[in-house]
């Protein structure tokens, strides 16, 4: 009731000031400006027992001094300008409290902690004793719960938690101790301007409270779901990720069918540690079986497993031992033409033998070499005869002799008489 009365008086004074300014000013002129954000915050907190307001900007100090002089009655709130060497938030401890607004766990003074978890249906707050020191066990529980009640009220107000809030306090045997914890929580929540309702601690040690959120979800802290865990709060264990990487490597080697020479993959350091230790023998077996090399790169900037970088073999000789069908080579088998035998002198035979040895050395050609004259004539004969059976027999015999290291069967290009007889 008092807050409503004060707001009404303030609005009436503001309206009178606007009317007075409108009559005295010339057109166009600004009659009213929206309240400064700092003044708006102080105005919303005037209904609370404020001992002191501290600012670090001289212009803001002057605005607040003028505003407080207009709205306050007999009881004045102390206004102080911060002139210290350290920033205001750091000196007053506000910086550390702001950084805790996104933490799941909040430590309690003297030991213990509270854990805040958001779900779709409600907000769960769990109280842990930790290493709280004290006398008897029941005394330690009560001491921790009282500190937790004060911290819970502060976090609920600062984080603007709304909806159903369930608090799991440490179990207390005495009913009187439970009432003390409830009283402490209600006293700490008196500073909350939002509507709330606190119920009693149940027989299972849980307390339920409801609160109306002041700001929308979009108006709260700018938080987004974790891109790694998707907002679940947990990630897959490194050994599970390492096992999945090992299976993917084996699948990629199987698909390569012997053509994969090397695979490189970048993983986080903890995954690389498991791969190089827990799965070391398994990866070595894959390298030996598929005759490939697996390189694991530990990237400290990576949070996920990268893509495979596959290097394939460039020649068939590197995978000659693999059970693979080899493509046909273009190596030509040279077939020599012969003329009818005539009587020759010993010198001519010696010269002829030398020429044959030279031709035998030239017979071995590398793939892609140009065919010699005899090969050209032989191919021309095949074109003329169109795959005749006798000619195919000659070809088969010649290839067999060439593979066994013997001399191919010599043949004479057909004459016009033979073709006519055929």
pLDDT tens profile 270-295: 999 999 999 999 999 999 988 889 99
Residues 6+ apart with CB under 8 A from 157: 189, 191, 192, 194
Q: How confident is the model at residue 169 (pLDDT cuts 50, 70, 90)?
A: very high
Q: How confident is the model at residue 133 (pLDDT cuts 50, 70, 90)?
A: low
For residue 411, give both structure tokens: 């043949």
Helix axes 175-188, 137-159, angle to 10 degrees: 20
Q: Which superfamily does 238-319 belong to? A: Ribonuclease E, catalytic domain (3.40.1260.20)
Query: What element of type H or E holds 30?
Result: none
User: Span 192-220, mean pLDDT?
Assistant: 82
Predicted local distance difference test score (pLDDT) of residue 416: 45
Predicted local distance difference test score (pLDDT) of residue 339: 42
| Start-end of H helices in 112-203 | 137-159, 175-188
Predicted local distance difference test score (pLDDT) of residue 124: 95
| Peptide linkage before 317 cis (omega within 30 of 0) | no
Mean pLDDT, the chain, rounded, equals 75
Whether the CB-CB separation of 36 and 63 falls below 8 Å is answered with yes
pLDDT digits (tens, 9 = 90+) for 364-391: 544 444 445 555 565 565 555 554 455 5
Is it true that domain 95-216 has CATH number 3.40.50? no
Who wins on pLDDT, 299 or 329? 299
Domain boundaries, the chain: 2-91, 95-216, 238-319, 370-413
Share of the chain above pLDDT 90, in %: 19
Predicted local distance difference test score (pLDDT) of residue 87: 87
Whether the CB-CB separation of 308 and 347 falls below 8 Å is answered with no
pLDDT digits (tens, 9 = 90+) for 215-231: 755 445 566 777 777 77
């Amino acid at each position: 009731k008092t807050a409503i009365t004060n707001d009404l008086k303030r609005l009436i004074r503001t309206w009178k000031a606007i009317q007075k300014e409108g009559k005295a000013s010339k057109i166009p002129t600004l009659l009213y400006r929206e309240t400064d954000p700092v003044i708006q915050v102080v105005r919303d907190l005037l209904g609370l027992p404020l001992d002191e307001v501290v600012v670090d900007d001289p212009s803001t100090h002057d605005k607040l001094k003028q505003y407080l002089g207009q709205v306050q009655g007999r009881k004045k709130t102390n206004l102080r300008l911060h002139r210290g060497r350290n920033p205001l938030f750091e000196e007053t401890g506000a910086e550390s409290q702001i950084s805790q607004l996104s933490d799941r766990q909040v430590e309690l003074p003297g030991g213990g902690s509270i854990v805040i978890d958001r779900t779709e249906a409600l907000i769960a707050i769990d109280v842990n004793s930790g290493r709280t020191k004290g006398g008897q066990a029941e005394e330690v529980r009560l001491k921790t719960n009282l500190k937790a009640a004060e911290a819970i009220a502060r976090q609920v107000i600062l984080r603007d938690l709304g909806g159903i809030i369930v608090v799991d306090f440490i179990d207390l045997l005495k009913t009187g101790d439970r009432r003390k914890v409830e009283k402490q929580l209600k006293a700490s929540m008196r500073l909350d301007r939002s509507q709330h309702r606190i119920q009693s601690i149940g027989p299972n040690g849980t307390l339920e409270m409801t609160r109306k959120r002041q700001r929308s979800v979009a108006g709260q802290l700018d938080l987004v779901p974790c891109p790694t865990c998707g907002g679940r709060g947990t990630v897959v264990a490194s050994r599970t990720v390492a096992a999945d990487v090992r299976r993917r490597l084996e699948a990629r080697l199987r698909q390569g069918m012997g053509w994969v020479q090397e695979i490189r993959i970048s993983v986080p350091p903890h995954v690389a540690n498991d791969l190089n230790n827990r799965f070391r023998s398994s990866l070595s077996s894959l390298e030996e079986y598929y005759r490939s090399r697996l390189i694991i790169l530990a990237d400290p900037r990576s949070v996920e497993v990268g893509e495979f970088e596959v290097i394939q073999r460039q020649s068939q000789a590197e995978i000659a031992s693999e059970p693979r069908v080899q493509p046909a080579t273009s190596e030509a088998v040279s077939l020599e033409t012969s003329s009818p035998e005539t009587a020759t002198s010993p010198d001519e035979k010696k010269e002829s033998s030398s020429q044959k040895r030279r031709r035998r050395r030239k017979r071995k050609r590398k793939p892609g070499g140009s065919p010699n004259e005899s090969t050209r004539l032989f191919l021309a004969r095949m074109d003329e005869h169109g795959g005749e059976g006798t000619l195919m027999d000659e070809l088969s015999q010649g290839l067999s002799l060439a593979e066994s290291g013997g001399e191919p069967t010599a043949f004479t290009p057909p004459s016009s008489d033979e073709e006519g007889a055929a």
